[in-house]
Amino acid sequence: MTAAAEPQDLKYFTSSDGDLAYREAGAGDLVVLVHSGFVDHWVFDAQVPALAETHRVIAADVRGHGSSANASGPFRWTDDLAELLRHLDAGPAVLVGVSMGGLVVSDTLLEHPELVRAAVVCGASTGEFQDSDPWHREIQAALARALAAGDIEGWLTAFLDYVPGAHRTLDDIDPDIPRRLREMALNTLSKHTPGERDWLVRVTDTWSRLPKVDVPVLTLNGALDTPDVIAAAQRLADSVQHGRAHLIDGVAHYPNLEKPAEFTAVIRDFLQSL
What pLDDT, in 10s, does the model give residues 184-230? 999 999 998 878 899 999 999 999 999 999 999 999 999 999 888 99
Q: What is the pLDDT of residues 227-242, one digit of tens each?
A: 889 999 999 999 999 9
Q: Quick check: 182 and 189 in contact, CB under 8 A?
A: no
Q: Count up the domains in the chain and report the number.
A: 1
Residue 266 falls inside a structural domain: yes
SS3 122: strand
Residue 243 falls inside a structural domain: yes
Q: Which amino acid is at 74?
A: P
Helices 100-111 and 77-88, packing angle to 10 deg: 70
Residue 156 falls inside a structural domain: no
Give me Rg for the CA atoms of the chain. 17
Mean pLDDT of 86-105: 94
Residue 203 falls inside a structural domain: yes
pLDDT for the residue 4: 47
Residue 30 falls inside a structural domain: yes
Q: What is the pTM of this model?
A: 0.94
pLDDT for the residue 135: 77
CA distances from 201 to 65, 78, 125, 164 (A): 16, 10, 17, 29
The rounded distance, in Å, linking the Cα atoms of 8 and 46 is 20
**End-to-end CA gap in the chain:** 31
Residue 205 falls inside a structural domain: yes
Mean pLDDT of 92-119: 97
**Among 66-75, 80-89, 175-184, 194-203, which is the least confidently predicted range?**
194-203
The pLDDT of residue 2 is above 70: no
- Domain containing residue 36: CATH number: 3.40.50.1820
Pair type for strands 30-34 and 93-98: parallel
Q: What is the pLDDT of residues 139-175, one digit of tens each?
A: 888 888 888 888 889 888 888 988 888 888 999 999 9
The pLDDT of residue 119 is above 80: yes
Residue 186 falls inside a structural domain: no
The pLDDT of residue 5 is above 80: no
**Residue 199: phi, psi to the nearest 5?**
-90, 0
Q: Which domain holds residue 231?
A: 7-129+199-272
The rounded distance, in Å, linking the Cα atoms of 73 and 76 is 10
The rounded distance, in Å, linking the Cα atoms of 51 and 26 is 8
Q: Quick check: 95 and 116 in contact, CB under 8 A?
A: yes
